[in-house]
Structure 1
Amino acid sequence: MFSNLLLLWSLSHDLYITGGTFFAPKQQFWNNQNLSSVPLDLDVRLRRLDLSNNFIRQLHTLALPYLEQLDLSNNQLDLISDEAFENLARLEHLNLSRNGLNINAGSNSKALQSLGSLRSLDISRNGLSNDAVQLYLRRKSSLDQLKMTGNALTRLSHTLFRENIHLRTITIDDNLISEIAPGTFEPLSQLETLNLAKNNLGHICDFKLYQVKYLNLSRNSVEFFVTRENQHSYSLEILDLSYNKLLYFPIVPKKNHLKYLYLQNNMLGALGSEAAMVSEANSLYNEIVRENVAMKNNLHAIWRQMPLFYIDLSYNHFTSFPLETLSLLSSLESLHFSHNCLQSIDWNIRNYSDSGLIRQLSFHSLKHLNLQSNALVYISPHFLKALTQIETLNLQENFMQPCASAGNFISSLSTQQTILSTSCAAFGQLRTLKHLNLRENNIKILQLNTFLRTSLVSLNLAKNQDMEMHEGALDGVQATLQSLIISEINMSSSHLSLPCMPALTQLNISNNRLDKMPNTLNCSLLKEIDIRNNAFRTLNHSLIHTLSKNLTVMFISGNNFNCCDSSWLKTLNEMKIKLPDISRTKCFTSDQNVMMTEYLKSPSSYCLLHKEAQEVNFGQMIVIVIFLSVLLTVLIMFSRKLCNIQKSFMV
């Protein structure tokens, strides 16, 4: 036994002496320690070292042969000795962000040239100029990731990455770049991610980065993005042009893999009609590529081939919906069109002949459409008919009125038919619709069979002040509806009629004038219910007992509950239902208002007087009844006796 222990000790000792790393600490954290220099007693076996957020100004030789990651970010580093990194043969990740590397850039950059295995380098926020950056990037052939956020770069030259040909990810956001020389990124054959956000780029005239998959040009001053038509296959999958000054849709590479296109917060639509915008974009393309051929619709020809899955056009200047351009995107599933200037979505499309036939377009793949915060009053039934696969429709903060039933819309497109004149929306056309948001639309009345033939799972009707709800408004969706929001409508219990909804799991009836919960809820499988800010004094104990079998969360604050009529609360406590706002919930007794949490600590003491008062009142009533009965009997007997005496005198 002793010999085995001795052998084990000997092996572990040998590992330690020879620099073995089996028992070596893998990392040490010296961040936020107010250090002015690197600690001298560092373990030579370290693999990761964090010295961030200190006050280190100078860096001398580091004898850490196994170190793989070093974080010196957010110090005051402005002087690195030539030998500082010579013994860091395994270093792969170096973070020097938020220092003063713009000072002594010439000598400091020489120290980094010894890092032959470096894969990731962060030199962000060092105030580096164009020339200084080029010095720091010398002899970095192994570099895979480079981050230079928040420096002072103004121009990218074709020689900048000459010695970094294996780069896969480059981040140069938040600089002052207004010019990129041809050939700057093209030689980087492995480049996949390029982030140039928050710079001063004004346009992209001829995009040639065939290898890039993700390109971020957001928050620049880009007015147009044009790619010359060619036969090269591009790898581009994500293009972010948000927060720019785009007037036109981008003309992207003809052969691409583009799936996500971000165009929010631009000036798209400012030119007026869709036709004008498309025509201007095509003219610009011909001018840039200097083609003398007859005008053709390059924009539509290229968009027709895009395998786009998602596009964000929110916060632009559209006054009309670009039906023809967007209908070309045969793979489009999600479209964000919120916060524009639409008042109507009309079916203003060009016909191919003079036959009078209305041309029908289709959005075959579109599942999610966000039209929130426009000023929509009218949506053409032809447009609704084109949404053959729609599942989610967000119309929050518009002025849309739902039609009474699904029978009032156009079902065919014959030559003699005219577009439906009414301004209401016939949601019954949308057979695949599952999620509908009609919050804050100033809806006046929800009529019979409003959502018949849809497949609604969730419905939001909140903030439609004083909306009247027909008793059969939810007919047709009571079997599928799982979430219902009818808060902030100023509705009383006498005007709230809900059908039996066996699939309902979430109900929000907060901020109304309700004093009773609909008894039809007893057939629902509610898991969450919100009754805040109503006029409830008590809740139906039988109903609560039924609901508590499935209920997990209930919000109750902002009501005027009677403390001494709260058997429903006892049931919720016994079933361990979560009441997240009970600490803000008040109830009243015969003589005071108390917090519900205080009442629950000693309910008998608060309601004892209430019970005694009830008992006293009952006893007093009995005494009074007996007293009145006796008094009445005496009076009757006295009156009879008096009558007899009077008769005897008369005789």
Structure 2
Amino acid sequence: MVRHMLVNLLLLWSLGHDLYTTGFGDDGLKGQSWSNQNLYSIPLDLDVRLQKLDLSNNFIRQLHTIDLLYLEQLDLSSNQLELISKGAFENLALLEELNLSVNALNNNLERNSKSLQSLGRLKSLDISMNSLGDEAVKLYLLNKSSLEKLKMTGNYLTTLTHKLFKESQDLRSITIDDNLISTIDGGTFEPLRKLESLSLAKNNLGHICDFKLPQVKCLNLSRNSIQFFVSAADNQVYNLEILDLSHNKLLYFPIVPKFNQLKYLYLHHNMVGTLTLEASMVSEVNSLYNDIVRKGNVRITKNYLHSNWRLMPLIYIDLSYNHFTSFPLETLSLLLNLEELNFSFNCVQNLTWNVRHDSESGHYRQLYFPSLKYLNMQSNGLASVSPLFLQALTQVETINLQDNSVKPCAPVSQMQSSISPQLNLNSSCVAFGKLRTLKYLNLEDNGIKILHANTFQKTSLISLNLARNVHMVMQVGALEGVQETLQSLMMGEVNMNSSDLLLPCLPALTHLNISNNYLTVLPSNLTCSPLRELSIKNNSFLSLNQSLIKALSTHLHAMYISGNDFNCCDAQWLKILNESRIKLPDISQSTCFTGNTRIQFDEFLTNSSLYCSTHKKGIHSGQIIIVVLFVVILITVLIMFARKLCCTNKSLVV
């Protein structure tokens, strides 16, 4: 009986061991990894049932016959593969995914390419970083009719022709990044009706004159030298959803297909806006379009840039790191679905309302951004914003104005509210109270000197960043109107002392950063707030109020305390935090002092009684010794004085 049980246990262990070493799963998927094993050849006696085999990051130079009839995925990347024998893949009838990237397939081209021709069912092929030129790639793509995904990053392709993908009409994804491509012949990608994703990033393309790939959904042309992008003039519906033209030399906005599905447009790190005026740029774009698409002497007078953008369902556009000196109001206002606009790191110092007058009334037209929720204007040198621009932001929730020169306006009662809007189009301050939907506002490093009372009244602020506005003065009531909604407040590096920090009761506040100031006392009003994170780094605190810390510890999750001059022997507050298991992420960089000694806080927590009790006892003993010595000396003097007096009396009697 026992023997029978032992035999069964051994069988179960053996089966479990096999399952573990071969990676068999309950779903029938079988795989094995030999990655990073310093192999020079494929291991012998591999399980014939394998469906996945990973041999990446080894030293395999030659590949001979692989007898794995069920293999579907094979990874031979990052080896030194330079020779593939004729029948190496003949027995891999089910192979669908093959990764041969980072090898030396530029050697033995004819022999290696013929070996790959036996893979008739291959759907995914990666031959990146193999030093392959144009002709070499053509050889490797022979007899690849079932191919759906192709990656050729980091090779030496210079020209793409219509013959390259002639035998791979089912391709859905092509990646040819980081090559030397400067020319793409007509008809190269057009026949690939199933193509959805095309990436040609990091090449030498100079322009796109006649884009007409209606089947493509995602197009990446970033990091080339493209100066303009012009689509075909037709009424065909394009599937394009994502267009990345970042890191190029674009002078104008791209002319996209008239009917498209474009939702994400990346234009950052270009030269758009160099022409300064929006009208000049639109005129130049139309002139360029005329030159490219006109037939004979027929001139096109239609504003193609604006007419095509009006139909674009764009929700995100990145225009950061360009050369704008004025904000393209009319062009961007055409994007009725736009939700997020990144306009950071440009040169717009004054956001003026440069909009054409209404032809009938003669007044400025009021444009709107009806869907815009996120606006990033960081690092523009912005000093003034037109009130009409604020009025156009009907749904904005987040505004990033970090690293500008924006000054919040005083409340209307403190301003000349009688001034006509027509005469005050370009105010020198920003009236944030007009933005009723505003929830997140970043005013870090704007040189703000005074924060008036009721500055943010009528907004819906949840987060406010006022950090690095050196010597900013907060008037009483500066946060009036947002006490009930404000959850995050950042006021680090403002050079304020405790008397300057005028915080009202903030019952919703969960994150507070008051680091890098000269604070010595925490505001008592913090007991109103359910703080979860508090930073008091780099201030002048000697101790913290115990009852306040105890009240805060109810909700507190983390507290940053480094860079202060805490007294070790007045650190009961620290014990409260420690006992409440509040996280102190920077405690290893935090110190306290006792006498003339400075101690690491985490060390002090371990031996607090040793440091402070010894210190106190030492002082107590010294005081006792001094008192005893004083008493002894006093008694001795009195005795000597008494004896002397006694002797004097005796001599007088005699």
TM-score, normalised via structure 2 length: 0.90
| Structure 1 residue 269, shift from structure 2 partner | 0.5
Aligned counterpart, 1:353? 359
Aligned to 1:224: 228
- Counterparts of 1:46-125 in structure 2, within 5 Å, are 46-125=50-129
Deviations 1:251-307 (A, max 9, x none): 000000000000000000011211100100011011100152452211000000100
Equivalent residues of 1:384, 1:429 under 8 A apart: yes
Match of 1:288, SS?
Answer: helix
Return closer, same or farther for 1:201/1:407 CA change in 2, 3 Å cut-off.
Answer: farther
With over 3 angstroms needed to count, the CA separation of the structure-2 counterparts of 1:626 and 1:329, relative to structure 1, is: farther
SS in structure 1 at match of 2:573: helix
Structure 2 partner of 1:210: 214
Q: How do 1:14-33 residues align onto structure 2 when only pairs under 5 Å count? A: 26-33=30-37
More displaced stretch, 323-332 vs 463-472: 463-472
Structure 2, unmatched stretches of 5+, are: 19-23, 636-654
Q: Distance in 1 between the 2:629 and 2:431 partners?
A: 67
- The C-alpha deviation readout for 1:520-543, integer Å capped at 9, x for no partner, is 000100000000000000001011
Q: 1:322 aligns with which of 322, 328, 337?
A: 328
Q: 2:567 aligns with which of 562, 579, 584?
A: 562
Distance 1:574 1:296, change over 3 A: same
- Checking the alignment, whether the CA contact within 8 Å between 1:410 and 1:420 is kept in structure 2 is no
Contact 1:101-1:126 within 8 A present in 2 as well: yes
**In the TM superposition, what are the counterparts of 1:139-218 in structure 2 within 5 Å?**
139-218=143-222
Q: Distance in 2 between matches of 1:411 and 1:214?
A: 50
Partners of 2:415 and 2:436 in 1: CA distance? 14
**Per-residue deviation at 1:621?**
11
Tell me whether 1:311 sits opposite 2:288 in the alignment.
Answer: no
2:439 pairs with 1:439: no
Residue 107 of structure 1: how far off its partner (Å): 1.4
1:83 to 1:471, Cα distance in 2 relative to 1, 3 A: same
1:602 Cα deviation from its structure 2 partner: 1.4
Distance 1:258 1:420 in 2: 34
C-alpha distance in structure 2 between counterparts of 1:420 and 1:612, whole Å: 73
CA 1:186–1:25: 2 relative to 1, 3 Å = closer
CA distance in structure 2 between the partners assigned to 1:339 and 1:442 by the alignment: 18
User: Are the aligned partners of 1:368 and 1:393 in contact in 2 as well (CA < 8 Å)?
Assistant: yes
Q: Deviations over 1:33-83 (max 9, x none)?
A: 222222223222221111111221111111111111111111111111110
The 2-side partners of 1:284 and 1:29 are apart by 55
Q: Quick one: structure 1 residues 407 and 227, their matched pair in 2 at CA, closer, same or farther if it must change by over 3 Å? A: farther
Q: Is the 8 A contact 2:78 2:103 kept in 1?
A: yes
Letter of the 1:29 counterpart:
S
Identity %: 62
Would you say 1:462 and 2:460 are equivalent positions? no
Q: How big is the shift at 1:465?
A: 0.9
Give 1:471's aligned residue: 476
State the distance in 2 between where 1:91 and 1:410 align: 77
Deviates more, 1:489-498 or 1:421-430: 421-430
User: Are the aligned partners of 2:386 and 2:426 in contact in 1 as well (CA < 8 Å)?
Assistant: no
Partners of 1:208 and 1:521 in 2: CA distance: 61
How far does residue 355 in structure 1 lie from its aligned partner after superposition? Answer: 3.4
Give the AA of the match of 2:159.
R
| Cα offset, 1:409, TM superposition | 8.2
Given the superposition, is the C-alpha separation of residues 623 and 348 from structure 1 closer, same or farther in structure 2, using an over 3 Å criterion?
A: farther
Q: Distance in 1 between matches of 2:543 and 2:11?
A: 74
Residue 26 of structure 1: how far off its partner (Å): 2.1
Cα distance change on mapping 1:576 and 1:296 into 2, 3 Å: same
Distance 2:96 2:425 in 1: 67
Residue-by-residue CA offset, 1:463-499 (whole Å, 9 max, x unaligned):
1111111121111111100000000111100111100
* One of 338, 341, 351 as aligned partner of 2:347: 341
> Cα RMSD over matched residues?
2.8
Distance of aligned partners of 1:421 and 1:53 in 2 relative to their CA distance in 1, 3 Å threshold:
closer
Aligned partner of 2:509 in structure 1 is 504
Tell me how far 1:618 sits from its aligned partner.
Answer: 8.6
* Counterpart amino acid of residue 329 in structure 1: L
* Structure 1 residue 9: Cα displacement: 8.4
Distance (whole Å) between structure 2 residues aligned to residue 367 and residue 216 of structure 1: 26
- Distance (whole Å) between structure 2 residues aligned to residue 409 and residue 70 of structure 1: 72
**Match of residue 249, structure 1, among 238, 247, 253:** 253
Contact 2:159/2:181, CA 8 A, preserved across alignment: yes
2:358–2:364 Cα contact (<8 Å) kept:
no
User: Relative to 1, partners in 2 of residues 1:413 and 1:55: Cα closer, same or farther, differing over 3 Å?
Assistant: farther
8 Å CA contact retained: 1:95, 1:122: yes
For 1:381 and 1:363, the matched residues in 2 are separated by: 14
Contact 1:335–1:368, Cα closer than 8 Å, also in 2: yes
Deviation at 1:420, TM superposition (A): 4.9
Q: 1:407 to 1:325 in 2, by over 3 A?
A: farther
**2: CA distance between counterparts of 1:242 and 1:347?**
28
1:409, 1:420 within 8 Å by CA — same for their partners in 2?
A: no
**Distance change >3 Å, CA 41–CA 432, structure 1 → 2:** same
Question: Cα distance, 1:421 vs. partner?
Answer: 5.8
Q: Secondary structure at the match of 1:546?
A: helix
Question: Residue 301 of structure 1 corresponds to which residue in structure 2?
Answer: 307
In structure 2, the residue corresponding to 1:318 is in which secondary structure?
coil
The whole-number CA distance in structure 1 between the counterparts of 2:161 and 2:495 is 64
Asked if the contact 2:290–2:300 (Cα under 8 Å) also holds between the matched residues in 1, the reply is no
**In the alignment, does 2:367 pair up with 1:367?**
no
Q: Deviations over 1:288-333 (max 9, x none)?
A: 0015245221100000010000000000000000000000000000
Moved more, 351-360 or 103-112: 351-360
Cα gap change, 1:410 to 1:625, in 2 (>3 Å): same
Q: Describe the shift of the 1:127–1:407 C-alpha distance in structure 2 as closer, same or farther (beyond 3 A).
A: farther
For residues 22 and 176 of structure 1, do their structure 2 counterparts lie closer, same or farther at Cα, with a shift above 3 Å needed?
A: closer
Q: How do 1:248-267 and structure 2 match up within 5 A?
A: 248-267=252-271
**Contact 2:98 2:125 (8 Å CA) reproduced:** yes
1:449 CA drift (Å): 0.8
* Cα drift, residue 228 of structure 1: 2.4
When residues 441 and 611 of structure 1 are mapped into structure 2, their CA distance, relative to the original with a 3 A threshold, is same
Size of the alignment, in residue pairs? 619
| Amino acid of the structure 2 residue aligned with 1:175 | N
Mapping of 1:268-279 within 5 angstroms? Answer: 268-279=272-283
- 1:544–1:568 Cα contact (<8 Å) kept: yes
Mean CA deviation greater in 222-231 or 529-538:
222-231
Is the contact between residue 406 and residue 450 of structure 1 (CA under 8 Å) also seen in structure 2?
Answer: no
Residues 316 and 460 of structure 1: is their aligned pair in 2 closer, same or farther, counting only changes over 3 Å?
same
Aligned ranges for residues 583-622 of structure 1 at < 5 Å?
583-612=588-617
Corresponding position: 1:135 with 2:139: yes
Where 2:137 maps in the other structure, the secondary structure is: helix
Distance change >3 Å, CA 51–CA 618, structure 1 → 2 = same
Partner SS for 1:205: strand
Q: 2:241 aligns with which of 237, 254, 265?
A: 237
For 1:108 and 1:620, the matched residues in 2 are separated by 96
Scaled by the length of structure 1, what TM-score is found?
0.90
Cα separation, 1, equivalents of 2:374 and 2:544: 39
Deviation per CA, 1:428-486, whole angstroms, max 9, x where unpaired?
A: 10000000000011111111111111100000011111111112111111110000000
- Tell me if the contact between 1:146 and 1:167 (Cα under 8 Å) persists in the aligned partners: yes
Question: How far 1:611 sits from its partner (Å)?
Answer: 2.9
Residue equivalent to 1:545: 550
- Would the alpha carbon gap of residues 586 and 233 (structure 1) be closer, same or farther in structure 2, given more than 3 Å must change? same
| TM-aligned CA distance change 1:411 to 1:262, over 3 Å | farther
Query: Which residue of 1 is the match for residue 643 of structure 2?
Result: none
Q: 1:417 to 1:408 in 2, by over 3 A?
A: farther
The aligned amino acid for 1:85 is F
- When residues 32 and 409 of structure 1 are mapped into structure 2, their CA distance, relative to the original with a 3 A threshold, is farther
Tell me: CA distance 1:90–1:507, structure 2 relative to 1, closer, same or farther (3 Å). Answer: same
Letter in 2 for 1:196: L
